[in-house]
Amino acid sequence: MLRISQEEMEQFFEGLVASLQAQGVVCAITSGMACVKFGAALGTKDCDMLCAVNSADTFLNTLESTSLRGARCGYRSHLGAPLDTRWLSGGWTSHFAWRLADEEAALDVFGVAPRGSSPWRSETQGLYASCHTVAEMKRTDRPRDWPFATTLGVKLLRAGDPRGWLHIFDHQVLLEMAAEIPCPSELIAQRPVLGLLSSRDPRLVIALRGEVEFWQQLDHVRIQVYRQTVRSYVVAVKRDPRSDATDLRTQHQSRVEHAERLLPKNPLRDFGIDRLVREARSLAEQMAPQGSLHWLPEVAGHFVGLEV
């Protein structure tokens, strides 16, 4: 059989979203595939999808009935929550795959956009999440993601959306942009580092380093919180032969049963957002230049969608 091409893969996932949207499910492709669409090309084969948390059942039913070259959908890993409103709304991700002879089409589904400061559902662009949502999601613990955030920020400004100012983390680009266009005061209030632009303050360089370090640590701590709470659930799922059944419904039932006993629904809420921020700041203080954390933004508003 011919290898499945990336074009076919993309058409498959776009078709899946279109089918879900036709059933009234609010969902959108995000991350790498969205970056390609917005002009910040990223070589990614898998698909990340946002799904309204109250549509988990319809989403699962659709996955059950959707095949790729005859292959049925199944859960991709023992690690990963069941696709169920209770865990989706707590920020968990469900992993799926259509397995062919020597390759797979992988899909990650989640209901809460990490670092989202506005509801992602309110501004999807067709089959895709908005450029603003995707840019916020790129503030990860991985340095390689940050140039994509900056690129998407510039794209937003070029489209006339001032929120682009919130996503640019390159000192030179910020200064060049500030020489051309105004930065609204309400955005400076949201992101204090922008206040250094008007006077071309030389501290801008270290302020940006501090800001990036803080966001990276925030993501690092967030991921650790989820990882630490998932262990006993994974062991139970792994031991249960139903988890690897040939049909998705049985796999799902097994995961739900174990999750109800062992998987906290909302580990970030249990951990505490304030504590998360404090720990991230403390870690950033060890890594970032002295004094560089003075201009950090208020991040409590970046958990929109998470039931906290």
Nearest-angstrom CA–CA distance, 64 and 73: 6
Nearest-angstrom CA–CA distance, 115 and 102: 35
Give the x/- contact pattern for another protein in 148-187, rule: CB under 8 A: --xx--xx-xxxxxx-------x-xx--xx--xxx-----
Furthest CA-CA distance within the chain: 64
- Give the tokens for residue 303: 């958990």
Give the x/- contact pattern for another protein in 69-88, rule: CB under 8 A: -------xx-xxx-------
| 62, 140, 217, 243: which one binds another protein (CB under 8 A) | 140
Q: How many CB atoms lie within 10 A of CB 189?
A: 12
Nearest-angstrom CA–CA distance, 113 and 22: 22
Using alpha carbons, select from 248, 303, 265 the residue that is nearest to residue 113. 303
| 92, 165, 215, 271: which one binds another protein (CB under 8 A) | 92
CA torsion sign for 134, 135, 138, 139 is negative
| 6, 65, 185, 228: which one binds another protein (CB under 8 A) | 6
Nearest-angstrom CA–CA distance, 261 and 59: 23
- Give the tokens for residue 137: 């999601």
Q: How many residues does the chain have?
A: 308
Q: Does 62 bind another protein (CB under 8 A)?
A: no
Give the x/- contact pattern for another protein in 245-284, rule: CB under 8 A: ----------------------------------------
| 15, 18, 23, 39: which one binds another protein (CB under 8 A) | 39
Q: Which residues bind another protein (CB under 8 A)?
A: 3, 5-7, 10, 31, 36-37, 39-41, 43-46, 48, 76-77, 79-81, 91-93, 95, 103-104, 106, 108, 110, 114, 122-123, 130, 132, 137, 140-142, 145, 147, 150-151, 154-155, 157-162, 170, 172-173, 176-177, 180-182, 219, 222-223, 226-227, 230
